[in-house]
Structure 1
Amino acid sequence: MSILEVTREELLTREEAAHRLSTLAAALSDGEKVLVPLGGSNVKVNVPEHVRCEIELEVDGDEVELEVELKWPAPGHQD
C-alpha cells in the first residue's frame, strides 16, 4: 500500500514533453532535492545518489507507450 501517490496526465506537444523531461533531468543532476511539477504545484522529492531505472517500450494495437521509471528506497529503508 502506497503512503502517497500522485498521478497527473495531460496532452503535450512533443516539444513540451521534451522540455518537461529535460527540466526533470537537470534537477536530478543538480542535487538530491528534486522539484517535480504536478499540475499547478510542485512536489519536492529527496533523490539519493543511486536509483534503479527501468525503461519500457510497449506497442499494443494502435497505441505506443514509453515508460521511464526511477525507483529508490524510501527514507529510513534499505534497498
Structure 2
Amino acid sequence: MKDLEFEQKRTLTRLEAADQLAALAAALRHGGRAELELGPGKLTLHIPDELRSEVEVEVGDGQIELEIELKWSTAPAGEAGAAAGDDAD
C-alpha cells in the first residue's frame, strides 16, 4: 500500500509543459527540499543526491506517450543503499 499518491491530468500548452519541466529541473538541480507548483497547489518533496530514472516512449493509436519516472528511497541516508538493493525492478 502506498503512503501517498498524487495524480494530475490536464491539458497544457507546450509553453506550460516547458515551464513545469523547468521548475522540476530546477528543483532537481538544487536538491534538498523542492516545491513544485501543480495547478492550484504546491507539492513539497525532499530530493536526495541520487535517484533512479526510467524513460519510456510508446507510439501507437495515433498518439505518442512519453513517461519520465524518477524514484528514490524515503529511508534515511545510511539505510538508502540497503533499500535500493531490495528493489527488484
1:58 aligns with 2:48: no
Mark the runs of 5 or more structure 1 residues left unpaired by the alignment.
Answer: none
Question: What CA distance in whole angstroms lies between the structure 2 residues aligned with 1:29 and 1:2?
Answer: 27
Mark the runs of 5 or more structure 2 residues left unpaired by the alignment.
Answer: 85-89
Report 1 or 2 for greater relative contact order, CA contacts < 8 Å, sequence distance ≥ 6. Answer: 1
Shift of 1:19: 1.2
Shift of 1:37: 2.2
User: Where is the helix percentage greater, Structure 1 or Structure 2?
Assistant: 2
Larger radius of gyration, structure 1 or 2?
A: 2
Over 3 Å off, 4+ runs: none
Shift of 1:57: 0.6
State the percentage of identical aligned residues. Answer: 39
Question: What CA distance in whole angstroms lies between the structure 1 residues aligned with 2:38 and 2:15?
Answer: 18
CA deviations on 1:28-66 (whole Å, 9 max, x unpaired) are: 101211112232111210111001011111012111100
Once the two structures are overlaid, the 10-residue window that deviates more, 68-77 or 9-18, is 68-77
